[in-house]
Amino acid sequence: MIKIAPSILAANFAQLGQEVKEVEAAGAELIHIDVMDGHFVPNISFGSIVLDAIRPLTSLPLDVHLMIENPDQYIEQFAKAGADYITVHVEACRHLHRTIQLIRSYGVKPGVVLNPHTPIETIHHVLEDIDMVLFMTVNPGFGGQKFISSVVPKVAALSKIIKERGLTIDIEIDGGITAETIVPCAEAGANIFVAGSAIYNQEDRAAALQAIKAAGEAAYVR
Ligand SMILES: O=C(CO)[C@@H](O)[C@H](O)COP(=O)(O)O
Ligand SMILES: [Fe+2]
């Protein structure tokens, strides 16, 4: 089943609570939260106080995408603020396995993120320890960028490995997702899709979300 995770990075922060409730009512399955530190990525977004604020307003899982250096230092903070998933970039972790264990120790589902150029071989030895792999289909740091289609073969290759090993791991795609770009990703076996501008920048957000989901459902093969 296809799940849609609207990214609040594209929401109106002056009415964030309402923006979260709107996508929940529209059929979103997760809320995607982009944390940027101005070091790992060339942009700053927000920290765990935003989770503190929205946690009581939604029953949806909070999917926290950490685009930060030294993620270990902040995992407790995000776990205590109510994260359900915490995903860390392979490129930002010196001891990836330890970071995954740290996330799990707080009862949070761990996931790993790969930049567009990062090979899937970097996570072969942690697949048994994680709940999600997040493929970046843009270079991280900004919303509203163009989808990088050369990532799709990596998604298909990982999906095959997950199947061969009999694992249950969600494959999430993040960056430039629309009702068109979701199609090759769902065909490659991805099942969770982040969408920021393709939902929040639309007049009818519910219709936009449902159109993206329907296109993904029609294409999904696993
Ligand atoms: O992590 C990121 C960007 O670094 C994403 O979650 C974006 O925020 C998605 O925005 P769109 O590409 O869907 O507009
Ligand atoms: Fe993200």
Q: What is the mean pLDDT of residues 28-37?
A: 98
pLDDT digits (tens, 9 = 90+) for 98-151: 999 999 999 999 999 999 999 999 999 999 999 999 999 999 999 999 999 999
Domains and CATH numbers, the chain: 8-219 (3.20.20.70)
Query: Residue 61 above 90 pLDDT?
Result: yes
What is the DSSP track for the chain? --EEEEBGGGS-GGGHHHHHHHHHHTT-S-EEEEEEBSSSSS-B---THHHHHHGGG--SPEEEEEE-SSGGGGHHHHHHTT-SEEEEEGGG-SSHHHHHHHHHHTTPEEEEEE-TT--GGGGGGGGGG-SEEEEESS-TT-SSPPP-GGGHHHHHHHHHHHHHHT---EEEEESS--TTTHHHHHHTT--EEEESHHHHTSSSHHHHHHHHHHHHHHH---
| Dihedral sign for Cα atoms in the order 7, 9, 10, 15 | positive
ipTM tops 0.95: yes
pLDDT at res. 26:
98
pLDDT band, very low/low/confident/very high, at 222 (cuts 50, 70, 90): low
Query: Residue 221 above 90 pLDDT?
Result: no
Q: Is 219 exposed, middle or buried (0-12, 13-18, 19+ CB in 10 A)?
A: middle
Percentage of the chain modeled with pLDDT above 90? 99
- Note if the pTM is more than 0.95: yes
Q: Is 174 a catalytic residue?
A: yes
Q: Whose CA is nearest to atom 7 of ligand 1?
A: 143
pLDDT band, very low/low/confident/very high, at 208 (cuts 50, 70, 90): very high
Average pLDDT, the chain: 98
Distance, in Å, from the CA atom of 13 to the CA atom of 15, rounded to the nearest integer, reads 5
One-letter amino acid of 68: I
Ligand 1 pocket (Cβ < 6 Å) reads 7, 9-10, 32, 34, 65, 67, 138, 140-145, 174-177, 194-198
Query: Residue 152 above 90 pLDDT?
Result: yes
pLDDT at res. 74:
98
Q: Is 72 a catalytic residue?
A: no
pLDDT digits (tens, 9 = 90+) for 166-186: 999 999 999 999 999 999 999
